[in-house]
Structure 1
Amino acid sequence: MKISVAALTFFFFYACVAEITAQPTGDRDDGTIQSSGVKDCGAAEDQKTNGQLLVILRELETKLRDIQKELGVLKSQFQGKGSENVGPFNTDITLVYKKIYANTGSFNPRTGIFIAPVKGIYYFSFSGHNVSTKPMGLQLMKNGEQMVTVYNHPAGNRFETATNGMTLKLEVGDQVYMRLMQNTWVMDNRNDHSTFIGHLLFPL
């Protein structure tokens, strides 16, 4: 007797469902139990899949927040420029820059102090301009400690510019700023000769 392809397919399907639902040998095979088994199996699989998707979604949300934080950190930078003559004074002072061309929030333009938002490697550079009838002394400072210095000695009535810079490893909250040395001055005008620049190279 010939058995049709449809009959074989149905028999195979029924055998699979019976195995999944673990029905006893004596159970009815009128279709009711088969349908219930398929529904139960499908519901269980759907619930399992939904649970797995929820876990993956939460992991992606956490990674997205971390990436957003990293992107915010990587934008840490500032650029300030002077616009007038400062000094001389009978004591050291922290320079405050009148023009701010870029600032992502870690540089305080009122105090002239940059506060590191994250542990990392930063780069700072600065320049100073003066008429050498009086000396100019500038120091890059970190937490009250001198890092590098430029100094122009009196040399007659001529214009001079000095620059310097360095890479620093900073912890969160470290302060970096420029100090004008005692009895020296720095000159600037609309040409913006005197500058202070810093930015994060990479976080640690």
Structure 2
Amino acid sequence: MLLLETFVFVVQQQVDGGLNEKEISQQISSEDGRQNPPQTDTLRAEASTDRQQYCDLGIPDIHAALRELTATVTEQKEKNRELTATVTELRDEMNKKNEEISNLTLSQVELRKENRDREIAFSAGLMQSGSGYFGPFTTEITLTYRNVFTNIGNAYNPITGIFTAPLKGAYMFRINVTGRRGIHSSASIYKNGEKVVSGHDEQAQDWLNSSNGVVLILEAGDVVYVRLWSGRRLYDSVNNYNTFSGFLLFPLREDDVCRM
């Protein structure tokens, strides 16, 4: 429309004789410049306007966001390290507790075993059944107390009449000696072939009775038994007048000093 008006204006001027050809060209260029301004300036203005609009919208700075994210990751890593250290500490403590429990259990087992090894005691009577006399004999004989009342630890052998010490320790032994009808009744406790103590009684008639006891320090494997004297006689029945008993008082270490 603007060009049409310009064209009409130019024609009119030519008709009137007011404009030459150069002036007509300048007029058209001027009008065209007003109609189509330079595109470069327009694009710069639009770009500037777009940047301003983005800033006005409040879009965050990417570098600031990255810094914040890095700080968060670093903090999380630190927390993870602390958590890992705590877990490791708890695991170590638990392993230590388990080891203590295991050691305690082993100690208890060893203690129970040691206590079982210390459980040594026996007691036996001369006759298993009936009644009757033993002796006299022309030589000493080892008495076999066959009626076993107690034999904890099985250290006493009712077949041989011999007690064998299973470990070093202090042991208590005791015998009871009974006879009747005027024949002397005498028996002795022996340790490894050596006479230690004796029980002896003699009367012209009726019952004879005596007893004795001793504490002995025995090494493992030492033997203790009772022997009837030569020419002596015992009497026994279901009443168990003649008995042989012994038990461990307490164990001794290998380096303990033995005192007899």
Q: Same fold (TM over 0.5)?
A: yes
If the length of structure 1 is used for normalisation, what is the TM-score?
Answer: 0.79
Of the three residues 132, 138, 145, the one matched with 2:194 is: 145
Poorly superposed stretches of 4+, deviation over 4 Å: none
Q: 1:116 aligns with which of 159, 165, 174?
A: 165
Determine which of 212, 222, 229 is the counterpart of 1:164: 212
Secondary structure of the 1:60 match is helix
Match runs of 1:1-204 below 5 Å: 28-30=71-73, 31-83=75-127, 84-104=132-152, 105-153=154-202, 155-204=203-252
Gap runs ≥5 in structure 1? 1-26
Query: What corresponds to 1:3 in structure 2?
Result: none
Question: Helix, strand or coil: the match of 1:53?
Answer: helix
Amino acid at match of 1:69: K
Alignment identity in percent? 29
Counterpart residue identity of residue 155, structure 2? S
Q: Is the 8 A contact 1:132 1:152 kept in 2?
A: no
Work out the CA distance in 2 between the residues paired with 1:198 and 1:68: 22
Q: Secondary structure at the match of 1:97?
A: coil
Any conservation in 1 of the 2:175–2:199 contact (CA below 8 Å)?
A: no
- Larger proportion of helix: 2
One-letter amino acid matched to 1:102: T
Deviation at 1:132, TM superposition (A): 4.5
Q: Deviations over 1:123-149 (max 9, x none)?
A: 111111111432222010111111001
Considering fraction of residues, name the structure with more strand.
1
Distance 2:100 2:175 in 1: 48
| Paired AA for residue 91 in structure 1 | T
Distance 1:111 1:140 in 2: 14
Q: Conserved in 2, the CA contact under 8 Å of 1:88 and 1:182? A: yes
- Cα displacement string for residues 3-24 of structure 1 (whole angstroms, at most 9, x for unaligned residues): xxxxxxxxxxxxxxxxxxxxxx
Q: How many residues align?
A: 177
SS in 2 for 1:85: strand
5+ long unaligned stretches in structure 2: 1-69, 253-260
Q: Which has the higher contact order (CA 8 A, sep 6+)?
A: 1
Letter of the 2:180 partner, please give it.
V
CA contact (8 A) 1:123 1:168 kept: yes
Counterpart secondary structure, 2:138: coil
CA distance in 1, matches of 2:242, 2:157: 18
Separation (CA, whole Å) in 2 of partners of 1:106 and 1:29:
77
Amino acid at match of 2:162: I
Say which SS state the counterpart of residue 94 (structure 2) adopts: helix
- 2:6 is aligned to none
Query: What is the DSSP-based 3-state SS (H/G/I as helix, E as strand, rest coil) of the residue aligned with 1:157?
Result: coil
Root-mean-square deviation (CA), in Å?
A: 1.8
Return 48-57 or 171-180, whichever deviates more: 48-57
Q: Distance in 2 between matches of 1:65 and 1:111?
A: 34
Larger radius of gyration: 2
Alignment-derived partner of residue 11 in structure 1:
none
